[in-house]
Structure 1
Amino acid sequence: MSRSLAYEPRYALNAICPYFTMFPLEYPLRVLRKHRNDSPVVMDPFCGRGTTLFAARALGLASRGIDSSPIAIAIARAKLCKVQPQRAIELAQHFIANIEPVDVPDTEFFRAAFTPAVLKAVCAIREGLLGTSWRSNSAVLLRAAMLGCLHGPTNKRPETQAYFSNQMPRTFSSKPDYSVRYWKSKGLKAPAADVIEVLSRKLMRFDETSPPSGVTPSRAVLGDSRSARSLPARSRDFSVVVTSPPYYGMTTYVEDQWLRNWLLGGASTVNYGNSEQLEHTGKDVFAKSLGSVWRNMALTRTDSLDMYIRFGIIPSTKVDAKALMLASLEESGVKWKMVHTREAETAASGKRQADLMAAGSTAALEYDFHVRRI
């Protein structure tokens, strides 16, 4: 079995923050290599943590992305920033040394999740970042690294500790009450992590690099790709779309990232009922909602438009993924030529969404679609 690209040092930046909706880097790299000689601008209307954007960067291509999750966009912007690890570390040190945090959560969860010293340092960096322009490359990189280190498995050896928290998943934030019960039942304590050392272990894996000319973090936009307002005229310069829409039936993206959302300035509790980008109240409604995204992609002013879409469904929904995708393309009102449809690897092989929905869940079957605007 071939080694995943995720383990290659040159692709380390793409793993700055684990995220449960990530698709394997191999997919966008394979697609974009076909178009590399044409130097296209690449678009991902569901950019998530920015895997497509990173693939474009790795191939020297300009890219754009849209996502409705602030956590996703904070991570994706790191894929488009100028990477200077030492400056990001120095920024974190500055915040810890100069900020006495005023907003330190004092709930059972936070007391059990972090040691007092770690929580104080995390809150100092949080407040520093909230007061710093997100356009700063150092702040963009540090923000994504903080999200990546905020929670995950503990390690018995302090010198290899990679996360700040008590034992937690690394790809999503377990709910407060569940976490506290679990820690108590297992007798688990938060690690006495050194926040700067943990950040340094992550950041110093990255080489100093710059994105392609003209590419900045601002090309990853917090927005709703169903709305043409998220795609102003200046952004309609792309000719290749590579994306993976949310699974049909998956609606808890923000809730499942509640702790990272807190780091970005959100509440220190879980807020349920957040609106999702696509509507999941029925197959027809979902197809229409997704169709509006494809309609907006067709607004690009380039002569040609190729869309590569990896799409799957939650097995429990018992929906035909291929039929649902074809229905969404029909709903767009745009004339598309189906170049090919083929089975992708299962979601489990890419460590995708189905793995984390429930213990023993079955991996979904995914399909790769290539369509071209006529």
Structure 2
Amino acid sequence: MNKPAKNILQIRKATAAQNKALNGICPYFTMFPLEYPLKVLRRHKNKNTVTLDPFCGRGTTLFAARQLNSEAWGIDTSPVAVAIAKAKLASTNLETPLTLASELISNNVPLNIPQTPFFKAAYHPDTLRDLCSLREALLAIKNDTDASVILRAAVLGCLHGPRAKYIENTGYFSNQMPRTYASKPDYAVRYWQKHNLIAPQIDILKVLRRKIERLITLEKQTENSITQVLTGNSQLASTYQSITSMPSMVITSPPYFGMRSYVQDQWLRNWFLGGKEYVDYDTGDQIANGSREVFANSLGQVWKNISNIGSDDLHMFVRFGIIPSARVDAKNLFMNSLESSGVKWKVVSIRNADSAHSGKRQANQMKASSIASVEYDFHVRRT
């Protein structure tokens, strides 16, 4: 390959990465690849589809719909997931959230700065003060704008992660940590002490500027709205009352059977959103994992709710997984959930999906272990 051709290829790769930067505004440990919803939506691009993701997580399905100018709705029980997913449907000038960040930090003196050993070791005192100013100011906003949604998601994405070799290049506020999930406090403190790691003084506004200036697709207007991401339990029929369009397609990936640490893995981001300063082991409204039968019945209730509000020609594309230690037949478990819904579904196709190696894509920070799930792609249609 000659030099001009190589330069063009590099430019194309860089542009492609920038086009996807909004989707990566905040890394999330459990996430399916963007290519999956894009492939499904492109296959149905000639139809006026309305897509629903009842387990929207960080909003990958919503971002895919945004890319293809298609309407989409998302639901999740996790405040962290909803905060990130809302950003996928936001549109604003790049400077607006940065100006907002500067104003909120300058005009707010924090009332509460955590004094636990974790927070003292995780952040430089000046960085933590500014972070708490931003936290309390964002919590005080009653009616979000697209700018506040983007700012909140960007902060969550920068809240913790690996230390850069040169501080001027850092993309995170914290001492050494994984970027996709938060380490447990006692373990983190022991790790930092063992390796003599001191939290660097970080200019929050400079880090946010580097993050937000990469979101080149943010200024493109979208037909969707931040109000199309709902905080709620998709097992409850009442959660769907705010959806004003009739979904014709579902693209989703339910929680892995056997995985019980979603809430705890995001404890630090939950803190920024108003949660506790420590790990809360309450599982909340997640799909019940007590047994295969309970899990299938809980998931079946979601399929039933979607059927009740869906269009006549309703299709579901579901990437379904389990963790290996669960020792359950994933195909049978999913089929049981369809049967439990009481709705007549026709299985159009079942394909092996690539196993998820989310943990292995991360740097080997703090020696975190990873779990590869066994996954299948199901396409079912209501008959």
Task: Tell me which interval the TM-score lies in, with the shorter structure as reference length.
Answer: over 0.9
* Matches of 1:351 and 1:24, distance apart in 2: 14
* Matches of 2:124 and 2:358, distance apart in 1: 35
- Say which of 181, 188, 213 aligns to 1:179: 188
Q: Could you tell me which residue of structure 2 aligns to residue 121 of structure 1?
A: 130
User: Which string of whole-angstrom CA distances, capped at 9 and with x for unpartnered residues, describes residues 25-53 of structure 1?
Assistant: 01000011011111211100000000000
Cα displacement (A) at 1:247: 0.4
Q: Could you tell me which residue of structure 1 aligns to residue 376 of structure 2?
A: 367
Q: Could you tell me which residue of structure 2 aligns to residue 227 of structure 1?
A: 236
Q: Could you tell me which residue of structure 2 aligns to residue 33 of structure 1?
A: 42
* Matches of 1:44 and 1:205, distance apart in 2: 26
Indicate the RMSD between aligned Cα atoms, in angstroms.
2.1
Other structure's SS at 2:187 match: helix
Are 2:221 and 1:218 equivalent residues in the alignment? Answer: no
* Matches of 1:306 and 1:129, distance apart in 2: 38
* Matches of 1:373 and 1:198, distance apart in 2: 47
Is the CA contact 2:29–2:358 (under 8 Å) kept in the aligned structure 1?
A: no
Q: Could you tell me which residue of structure 2 aligns to residue 322 of structure 1?
A: 331
Map 1:36-115 onto structure 2 (within 5 A).
36-115=45-124
Is the CA contact 1:145–1:203 (under 8 Å) kept in the aligned structure 2?
A: yes
Cα displacement (A) at 1:5: 10
Are 2:296 and 1:287 equivalent residues in the alignment? Answer: yes
Change (3 A) 1:6 1:43: farther
Is the CA contact 1:66–1:223 (under 8 Å) kept in the aligned structure 2?
A: yes
Q: TM-score, normalised by structure 1?
A: 0.94
Other structure's SS at 2:337 match: helix
Identify which range, 288-297 or 4-13, moves more after superposition.
4-13
Map 1:225-374 onto structure 2 (within 5 A).
225-232=234-241, 234-348=243-357, 361=370, 363-374=372-383
User: Which string of whole-angstrom CA distances, capped at 9 and with x for unpartnered residues, describes residues 113-134 of structure 1?
Assistant: 0001100110111111011135
Are 2:29 and 1:20 equivalent residues in the alignment? Answer: yes
Is the CA contact 1:45–1:67 (under 8 Å) kept in the aligned structure 2?
A: yes
* Matches of 1:311 and 1:333, distance apart in 2: 19
What is the count of residue pairs matched by the alignment? 369
Change (3 A) 1:349 1:254: closer
Q: Could you tell me which residue of structure 2 aligns to residue 143 of structure 1?
A: 152
Cα displacement (A) at 1:107: 1.0
Identity of aligned residues (%): 51
Structure 1: segments with no counterpart, 5+ residues: none
* Matches of 1:128 and 1:158, distance apart in 2: 26
Change (3 A) 1:308 1:138: same
* Matches of 1:50 and 1:34, distance apart in 2: 20
* Matches of 2:147 and 2:14, distance apart in 1: 25
The residue type paired with residue 28 of structure 1 is P
User: Which string of whole-angstrom CA distances, capped at 9 and with x for unpartnered residues, describes residues 262-319 of structure 1?
Assistant: 1001111111123242111100110000000111110124221010000110100111
Q: Could you tell me which residue of structure 1 aligns to residue 7 of structure 2?
A: none
Cα displacement (A) at 1:103: 1.0
Identify which range, 109-118 or 134-143, moves more after superposition.
134-143
Q: TM-score, normalised by structure 2?
A: 0.92
